[in-house]
Structure 1
């Protein structure tokens, strides 16, 4: 028995020596490290049929049955794709046909089509148990057209002048809704109390603030201070629907952490909707963001959302294959500065035009090729902090072929995106990286070693690779020797066991 223990101890020691030391535990995750999956609750997944009243899946303006329970049942699906945060459409009680959540009827309780407060709390717990975060879309500027305040004469000064502008419900989306009067202290108090209550009771991690550009900056500052006093590291994502970065930056001073990157979205969609399109405008926008925002890494990048048509539609209109278009676009989102947000259904290239056509029903039984690609991107981004925290340097860009570098501490990543219709060769001088090393591909397993002071990258059409700069690999004599010793010790161990078994048999 002593010999057996000695052999096991020796084997364990050698194995410990033979294998390289584990990587230093990654730093605590920050908001800039997140990857966000955005969900329109009603159209995602129906997990509880008991709340399916007034549901009509054939009517694009009606509830379709998605709920909190449905999200709970698909949390592993979301996590397995590498997402670390979930952004939910408004959960608050809505008026009739307010399936999208933006026709708020009561901020103090969840929409009954989605489930109870108990179910919502369980959803948050399940999210946190998976080491994920959850953000709610908070409508800070408007209420729904059926809100009881509209019929309360004592609250006439809670609204701006458009409180009586009641358009047909079928024609409304987010325009023409009653605008709240933030100059009224009672309105402010109500919104602040509601926002803090959901943080305290719901244990959520952040808010997306709808239509920040329609809200006074002094109220936003108060809102930010109040909610962040309730929970440390609470994230505020502002939506300012403008293509002018300068008009957005001013809201940073109000305490908003990050903003939806609308200024880049049009160029982003145009660059990836078809091959052979220049990315120069995108990289110019990156430089602008770096110079204007206090923390550009907290800006959220996206291809589409609840306010836009689906990016898939852009590709379809141009007779392009959506899968390739999405792979190129997502590689860019996941590897450039900013927090990527992916709208539900993008992983199956869900199609759709303007609202409500862009709110298609999620289908979990379709081809998983794009799902697998997103999962791979998510894993790579999660394991390589340079992709979320690193500096950015453009190394090459021409007509859809781009190569850029991200660097964080001692980690250097090189991203190559060939969004063209042909094979491309790009030579990167070793002076831009380091000489006598190698680029190890994490997406397709490509390996590029420096040769005469350069790295020669070759990519097929509509393909991308994410490289990590590493020491050159070779034959690891020490590792092979250690493994050989382990094998020999294992053989000796087996022989000893057999001899002991024979002696036992002879003695019996």
Structure 2
């Protein structure tokens, strides 16, 4: 969902001396629940500990009460942290069918940190000086979300629901289909490689038809569900294991992106039918692919107008009467003013009340997610999609604008219902485009299983493009760790998505992607690849400062992937389902390496090296069950070399390590002048090494 935030990219922290750089070995562990960092990494570890050992909650069946545990600190200069448990109480699935009174805590407003005004960075600027931290976040209008409606509203008319589609919640049942065997959840979501796409832009079947000007980035271009189904092998062969596509629910014709729903129980006819969607999920499951449903439960499309204008009314200004219903709204039980906040359109995104209760401009109406009855109906909608389509998870769009009690209740009840269908590790992914790590942590405390690493994404841009010291990557990792602890291992990581600039900018060398993709796939968390990245799609935008309201990422970052598409850039021309392209092959190799080496999926993570002076080497180890894998990337345009510590207990002096990406390259660990075991690694320009100890 569109949150076009103007943000300051994280500053480079300058080390006082080069000598310190060679001896400092930051340690951040991401280990399974109930297992200490030392036990997870191996019995004998020899590495300086500058940060606490942390246990990360893993998403494993069958528990419905995940526990977030922060154990006692590691030795050395660790920060003392008391054990904390956050429990999500299971709910009886039948509770979904009735409105349930919320507790006072559930109904409380979200505590949003006061982050102050945004700080803009000039298009061609370099990061700010040290001490300037990127802790501000702009709460600007997500304008491009509503742009299509603002530009074309009223031209395309109303969309009639497909025949046979349920119109009322009373018409549906949550009783499992007799004899149906539901697809089991993955044992651990950390094993997944995710791929996100815009259905209207990804692949078009012979039945797909554009609506409006196909050269216009805000029109419908005809991509559809059948088109995606035909490309599942292309994705599987690349190493993708989980799909997250734009919403399939029926919405206003102008909103090609799917984020303006009007019928919560129907598939948008422009994308296909419910049978098409069920078949897509079934075909994905046959290939071992999981499907996460993107569900918009924060707001609807422009379904009604206000009789006395749509201006913000304040918390005491709830509109008693609304005007005519501009679009039909289904299910019909929700076509009642009490299910909407009715306080008008947001005009100040920094205002907490407006952010949680206001309508998105110009006329996206906000559900009253603080209302227990509304909560129950929305949960019933989500449960029906799970039962009908057999999806493996739900992406909750725009949760920062929802009542936190609803997010908590939704997470608890949808996972309980999924469990009753045999999906013991159902994923609830919360989308919050905040620039503050602490807000992501708060979302997890509400019971969501994962969130997006937006704060890290914004801090890392300059460094990954080779325009800032790689120390920024370390600092960003530490900042995220301070807020999230071990939960950092279950955050969705990305370098671009449908709301941000594409990673590769116009004029940049394609080689930048090797280091960036290695960083993405081998860091702790769930890696997410945005469609077209595997074909080196570029953003026609030179600046590295994250997107802002005045310079949005879309629609230029939502090109047509299919050959007959007419909304193309130079990098996306032609048929882009090329399984022989260098970037596709690169991602395929990285995904294969991640699959083969368990530490890259489940291991604790230790920063081994970062450069305080400029582009160059960034290195970290992943350790799991006594195996260490050393990942070394180079963001510079020329080859670089660095000497760094490895784990002396797992990789003792004299160990031979081979690059899993280039079997011809290897190194041998040696004794460091300060003691311990070290390696010297040389990395090609914009390259990556994945060093694994060879068995003797």
TM-score, scaled relative to structure 1: 0.80
Matched, 1:289 2:289: no
Matched, 1:201 2:420: no
Deviations 1:265-315 (A, max 9, x none): 112222122x253122222232333343252211011111121122223xx
Partner of 1:469 in structure 2? 693
Choose the corresponding residue for 2:537, options 350, 355, 375: 350
Choose the corresponding residue for 1:448, options 667, 684, 688: 667
Higher helix share: 1
Distance (Å, rounded) in 2 between the aligned partners of 1:52 and 1:378? 34
Partner of 1:253 in structure 2? 445
Deviations 1:239-272 (A, max 9, x none): 1221111122112221111110111111222212
Deviation, 1:163, is 5.3
Q: Given that residues 37 and 344 in structure 1 are in contact (C-alpha distance below 8 angstroms), is that contact kept between their aligned partners in structure 2?
A: yes
Counterparts of 1:204-219 in structure 2, within 5 Å, are 204-219=391-406
Which one has a bigger Cα radius of gyration? Answer: 1
Distance (Å, rounded) in 2 between the aligned partners of 1:185 and 1:431? 52
Question: What runs of 5+ residues in structure 1 fail to find an aligned partner?
Answer: 1-26, 167-172, 473-508
Q: Given that residues 303 and 365 in structure 2 are in contact (C-alpha distance below 8 angstroms), is that contact kept between their aligned partners in structure 1?
A: no
1:80 counterpart SS class: helix
Partner of 2:635 in structure 1? 419
Matched, 1:91 2:248: yes
2:493 counterpart SS class: strand
Distance (Å, rounded) in 2 between the aligned partners of 1:365 and 1:133? 21
Q: Given that residues 196 and 243 in structure 2 are in contact (C-alpha distance below 8 angstroms), is that contact kept between their aligned partners in structure 1?
A: yes
Distance (Å, rounded) in 2 between the aligned partners of 1:154 and 1:46? 34
Deviation, 1:324, is 1.3
Q: Given that residues 190 and 601 in structure 2 are in contact (C-alpha distance below 8 angstroms), is that contact kept between their aligned partners in structure 1?
A: yes
RMSD over aligned Cα atoms? 2.4
Choose the corresponding residue for 2:192, options 30, 34, 49: 34
CA distance change for structure 1 residues 165 and 450 in 2, over 3 Å: closer, same or farther?
closer
Partner of 1:160 in structure 2? 341
Paired residue total: 433
Q: Given that residues 259 and 299 in structure 1 are in contact (C-alpha distance below 8 angstroms), is that contact kept between their aligned partners in structure 2?
A: yes
Counterparts of 1:45-444 in structure 2, within 5 Å, are 45-49=203-207, 51-52=208-209, 54=211, 56-146=213-303, 151-152=324-325, 155-162=336-343, 175-176=361-362, 177-231=364-418, 232-273=424-465, 275=466, 277-293=468-484, 295-313=487-505, 316=506, 319-321=507-509, 323-352=510-539, 354-362=553-561, 363-364=575-576, 368-398=581-611, 399=614, 400-429=616-645, 432=648, 433-444=651-662
Question: What runs of 5+ residues in structure 2 fail to find an aligned partner?
Answer: 1-59, 61-185, 306-321, 326-333, 348-358, 419-423, 541-552, 562-574, 672-676
1:87 counterpart SS class: strand
Higher strand share: 1
TM-score, scaled relative to structure 2: 0.59
Distance (Å, rounded) in 1 between the aligned partners of 2:409 and 2:470? 39
CA distance change for structure 1 residues 370 and 154 in 2, over 3 Å: closer, same or farther?
closer
